[in-house]
Amino acid sequence: MVVSEHETFSAARPSPSKPQERCPMTDSPALPAVNREWHLVTRPVGWPKPEDFALVEAEVPTPGDGQVLVRNLYVSVDPYMRGRMSAAKSYAAPYELGKPMLGGAVGEVVASNAEGIAVGDHVLHFLGWREYAAVDAKSAVKVDPDAAPLSTYLGVLGMTGLTAYAGLLRTASFKEGDSVFVSGAAGAVGSQVGQIAKLKGASRVIGSAGSDEKVKLLLDEYGFDAAFNYKNGPVSEQLRAAAPDGVDVYFDNVGGDHLEAAIGSLNLNGRIAICGAISVYNNTEPAPGPKNLARLIQTRGRIEGFLVGDHYDLQPKFVEEVGPWVRTGELKYRETVVEGIENNLEAFLGVLRGDNTGKMIVKL
């Protein structure tokens, strides 16, 4: 497996893709004989195992009316995908056994049966975990590789960035002067939450992460006021030391002891936005809830979960505000890039382990 970690401070023009052979009759890339795609073959119990999945060879699909054939260049792996591997009812339909898995992807159109999208265009869609996908044009979004590197449309300028933006500003009702605590703060969402809070006038931003190296990143490059390694001691004690005056907003990516600690440090009229709970995703038994929920009565605190899909109306405002921050380098981001479709599963497991700094991307 080839893994590279890099940071980008502005939306510089990306390096050109590796050249492909072209078909002389259509000037589109010559298609391979097979299309490799990842299938879920068994629903994981506890931690996902390699034998729960299979990398399958299939025919390259032929796009139907209103569809385009996309050669995926980058695909996304995200914590929420663990929930879709279960048959339990949730906000997203479970992955079907024996069929290609789904996820964000960005790629080049190599054949088109749809108006408005031409061969050579680049599109964002949700048929990842495979090399080629026949995508309904109405569900594909054209993206500009000259405006930003293609991978950023899966991260800082994509669903990840909108998640941070909507969760902080709408769900948590952030306002200038708030003190903000972010768990999983070196991850793709958490790192943007903290930086957006600083850019919009937070009085103090505190982050937790799983290594001393990530703590240093939060402090030295992302501009957090305080950060701690949650493995170095009880989260509640470390949070009290980092935020002696309490917190007004907690953005939760972790759950468990982090949520309990945040409730314990919540100020009057504090708000908690629940984005994820990665600490319990692989539990085989229900995790106990925070023992101090009664403190919300005292603080008049509010806890609210959210899904980014409920906030796509913010997309234009998000791009308008965050895009310039990315271009000028005011908002920094990192990507951990794993190369090769054959390593898609290992990249996903790496997200669950916390191996990534920033957005985990698979480059095909």
| Full pLDDT tens readout for the chain, 364 residues | 655 555 433 333 333 344 444 443 344 557 888 999 999 999 999 899 999 999 999 999 999 999 999 999 999 999 889 989 998 877 778 999 999 999 999 999 999 999 999 999 999 999 999 999 999 999 998 988 988 889 999 999 888 999 999 999 999 999 999 999 999 999 889 999 999 999 999 999 999 999 999 999 999 999 999 999 999 999 999 999 999 999 999 999 999 999 999 999 999 999 999 998 876 666 556 667 799 999 999 999 999 999 998 998 998 899 889 989 998 999 999 899 999 999 999 999 999 998 888 899 999 9
The pLDDT value recorded for residue 80 is 87
Task: Retrieve residue 62's tokens.
Answer: 């032929």
269: tokens are: 């009229």
- Within 8 A by CB and 6+ apart from 215, the residues are 186, 207, 209, 227, 228, 229
Distance CA 180, CA 205 (A): 5
pLDDT at 9: 33
Q: What is the arrangement of strands in the sheet containing 266-274, beginning at the earlier edge strand?
A: 226-229, 204-209, 179-182, 247-252, 266-274, 302-305
Per DSSP, the three-state class of 40 is strand
10 Å CB burial of residue 213 (0-12, 13-18, 19+) is: exposed
Bridge-based pairing state of the strands 333-339 and 53-58: unpaired
Are the beta carbons of 102 and 95 closer than 8 angstroms?
yes
Say which CATH class 35-155+334-363 falls into: alpha beta
- Is residue 275 within 8 A of residue 306, CB to CB? The reply is yes
Q: How far out from the chain centre does Cα 187 lie? A: 8
SS3 for 262? helix
Is CATH 3.40.50.720 the right assignment for the domain spanning 159-315+319-324?
yes
Distance (Å, rounded) from C-alpha 303 to C-alpha 355? Answer: 28
Q: What is the pLDDT of residue 260?
A: 96
pLDDT score recorded for residue 25:
34
Tokens of 323: 């895009």
**Residues with Cβ < 8 Å from 131, sequence gap 6 or more?**
32, 35, 36, 37, 71, 72, 341, 364
Kindly report the pTM of this predicted structure.
0.78
What pLDDT is attached to residue 18?
42
Residue 186, SS3 per DSSP: coil
What residue ranges do the domains of the chain occupy?
Answer: 35-155+334-363, 159-315+319-324
* CA quadruple 210, 213, 215, 216: dihedral, nearest 10: 180
Do 35-155+334-363 and 159-315+319-324 share a fold?
no
